[in-house]
Amino acid sequence: MRLGFFLGEALGSMRRNWVMAMAAVITVFISTAILGAVLVTRDNLNQGATSLKNRVMIEVFIKDDATEEQKAGLEQKIQAIPEVKSYKYISKEEALERFRKRFGERIVQNLPINPLPASYEIQVKDANQVDLVAQKFFDDPAVDNDPGTHNGVKYARETVRKMLGTINLIGIGMWIATGIFALAAVLLISTTVRLSIFARRREVEIMRLVGATNWFIRWPFVLEGFITGLIGAVIAAGFVWLSNWALANWLESSDINFLDIRVFSMWWQDGSWPAGLLPTLAVLGAVLGALGSMVALRRYLKT
């Protein structure tokens, strides 16, 4: 019964002060839409990072004069490395065919012999382990290293390091941005609700004079913030999802379709957190709305 009373008061206040209520809804919409955009962007960056990490490859070139025993030992070494995800043997003939497809038949015809060595293409399980795996082949007798060098083992060492550093930096930046926008949402909602409370400050004072407890006064405002936050967040979830869907479809049909943009789930995604946009932003918006109301009430009520 009391919950019905508080809910009725909250809805009545929203009807009477619909301009303030709309301002609160718009505030939550903007804040949670930005947060939703951060979630979608972070999800696609994580997907892109995983894709890039899966493409990290080590090429180990084999000497032309390596013995069969040395070649067999090299393959056994690769098989024994736990950090290796997969590997593929590339023969001299296959290497020449790849060269032909890349540079054309004319260049290959002018070659008196096949100068390309056989090799192994090795993929690691974790891009952070690429240095560790590559170093295992620096001194192998079957590897085509020039004296005093390790040029028989090729991998994008600096590129991998920069890539991992950039990915980690972007991830940290996204979390910081999420925290900043969440704080901004609370402050904006608090300011909006404070204006509503200011317009009803005499009602609050009268309720306190007749003996109403702080929580009795607080609950209608908290529910009001909760409802406005929920409405704004639901609208924001729909807006962000439609924008994400439209961008993904546009990129897929355009000349820049190599950018594989994933459409963030609207409802649920594989049982993991964060959930889909709607439940995540709805919960977040409702909590931020209620929290903003409570922060605004601190000026008028003793805590």
- Give the pLDDT confidence of 146-173 residue by residue, as tens digits: 887 888 888 876 666 676 677 778 778 7
Query: Taking the CB of residue 265, how many other CB atoms lie within 10 A of it?
Result: 18
Name the burial class of residue 143, with classes exposed (0-12), middle (13-18) and buried (19+) by CB atoms within 10 angstroms of its CB.
buried
Predicted local confidence at residue 271, as pLDDT: 54
pLDDT for residue 196 is more than 70: no
pLDDT for residue 241 is more than 60: yes
Instruction: Tell me which of 17 and 63 has the higher pLDDT.
Output: 63
CA atoms of 160 and 128, how far apart (whole Å): 8
Predicted local confidence at residue 126, as pLDDT: 77
Tens of pLDDT, residue by residue over 101-110, are 887 777 777 7
pLDDT for residue 122 is more than 50: yes
Predicted local confidence at residue 294, as pLDDT: 77
Mean pLDDT of 20-31: 78
pLDDT for residue 40 is more than 70: yes
Which range among 105-119, 133-147, 163-177 has the greatest average pLDDT? Answer: 133-147
Predicted local confidence at residue 235, as pLDDT: 92
Which range among 40-49, 65-74, 125-134, 222-231 has the greatest average pLDDT? Answer: 65-74
Mean pLDDT of 204-225: 74
Which range among 28-42, 176-190, 206-220, 249-263 has the greatest average pLDDT? Answer: 28-42
CA atoms of 138 and 120, how far apart (whole Å): 14
Per-residue pLDDT band at 139 (split at 50, 70, 90)? confident
Instruction: Tell me which of 65 and 128 has the higher pLDDT.
Output: 65
Report how far Cα 50 is from the mean position of its chain's Cα atoms. 11
Average pLDDT, the chain: 78
Mean pLDDT of 229-244: 88
Per-residue pLDDT band at 1 (split at 50, 70, 90)? very low
What are the chain's domains?
2-52+162-297 (no CATH), 57-155 (3.30.70.3040)
The residue type at 289: G
Predicted local confidence at residue 303, as pLDDT: 44
Q: Which residue has the tokens 């090429």?
A: 59
User: How many residues are given for the chain?
Assistant: 303
Predicted local confidence at residue 77, as pLDDT: 92
Mean pLDDT of 115-141: 85
Predicted local confidence at residue 38, as pLDDT: 80
pLDDT for residue 67 is more than 60: yes
Mean pLDDT of 72-81: 91
CA atoms of 138 and 220, how far apart (whole Å): 71
